[in-house]
Amino acid sequence: MPELPEVEVTRRGIEPHLAGRIITGATVRNAGLRWPVPRGLGKTLTGLKVESVKRRAKYLLLDCGSGHLILHLGMSGSLRITDYREPAAYHDHFDLELGATVLRLTDPRRFGAVLWQRGAVLKHKLLRDLGPEPLESGFSGEALYAAIRKRGAAIKTVIMDSHVVVGVGNIYASESLFLAGINPKTQARRLGRKRCDELAGAVRTVLTRAIRAGGSSLRNYVQSDGSFGCFQIDCSVYDRAGKPCRVCSSPIRQIVQGQRSTYYCTKCQS
């Protein structure tokens, strides 16, 4: 279930268990993720200290001084803190070991990634060309307006383009457009400055709200199974096809854009 809020909540959950700890080993049970897990990764990592856990887009970056361990959860991945006595299950593909503590990656669909980058992590091919973080100052109505001037594609697909802004996945794309009152089929370049302001604001609001929903369970943060960020915000439109709009009661419509489902209210989003 990883969209940006889930990844951020996971980051906050794992960092206290990792920061300042020495890596004692790593176990790769299945190297066949989105890209092959690098050979000899355990040897590369052993003895290094995890300085901090950062996030860029939906990538988690474990700063190990001389390099970074890059983790991505794909569509079905999750991380949890457990210990070495816990037997690994079928989809537990990767363990990072820090003494008795284990950071364990579970990912049934194996769209996730475990990579190693020496030196400057932001120069990695996957991170190099990413657009601004939605919750930082680089993303604004002004920046959005400038970025989409020449885009004739539908705003729903453009807002999910990581060159425009990172971290807006399929759920929160629909939710943000609903909050901004913008029809997802609108050509991106047709949006004026004001609507870009509204959309940028909506993206920030929706993501912040979702992080807070996960963060609010921070107290009981580590679930009984050790996983993080187990939360479900109730959506305004996503997965609500045919159900009444929570604002105007007209039925939520589902369409397909760029091979993904989009949900919107035909009345509220003109």
Partner DNA sequence: CTTTAAACCTGGTCGC
Partner DNA sequence: TGCGACCAGGTTTAAA
**Residues interacting with DNA, by CB under 7 A?**
1-3, 6, 32, 34, 57-59, 72, 74-76, 90-91, 108-111, 125-126, 150-153, 157-158, 162, 169-171, 188, 232, 258-261
**Nearest distance from residue 235's CB to DNA, in Å?**
10
If 0-12 CB within 10 Å is exposed, 13-18 middle and 19+ buried, where does residue 135 land?
Answer: middle
**Nearest distance from residue 4's CB to DNA, in Å?**
8
Nearer to DNA, 23 or 115 (CB): 115
Whole-angstrom Cα distance, residue 62 to residue 95?
Answer: 14
What is the 3-state secondary structure of 21-52?
CECCEEEECCCECCCECCCCHHHHHCCCECCE
Nearer to DNA, 98 or 179 (CB): 179
**Nearest distance from residue 75's CB to DNA, in Å?**
4
> Which two structure tokens, joined as six digits, stand for 169?
């996945």
**Nearest distance from residue 1's CB to DNA, in Å?**
3
Nearer to DNA, 118 or 163 (CB): 163
Nearer to DNA, 23 or 71 (CB): 71
Query: Contact, 181 vs 148, CB < 8 A?
Result: no
Identify the bridge partners of residue 257 per DSSP, sorted by sequence position.
Answer: 260
Query: Contact, 169 vs 4, CB < 8 A?
Result: yes
Q: What is the H or E stretch that residue 150 is in?
A: none
**Nearest distance from residue 260's CB to DNA, in Å?**
5
Active site residues: 2-3, 58, 260
Nearer to DNA, 98 or 157 (CB): 157
115 closest CA partner among 166, 74, 68: 68
Q: List Cα–Cα distances, 223 to 5, 16, 77, 128, 214, in angstroms.
A: 17, 15, 16, 34, 12
80 closest CA partner among 89, 219, 35: 89
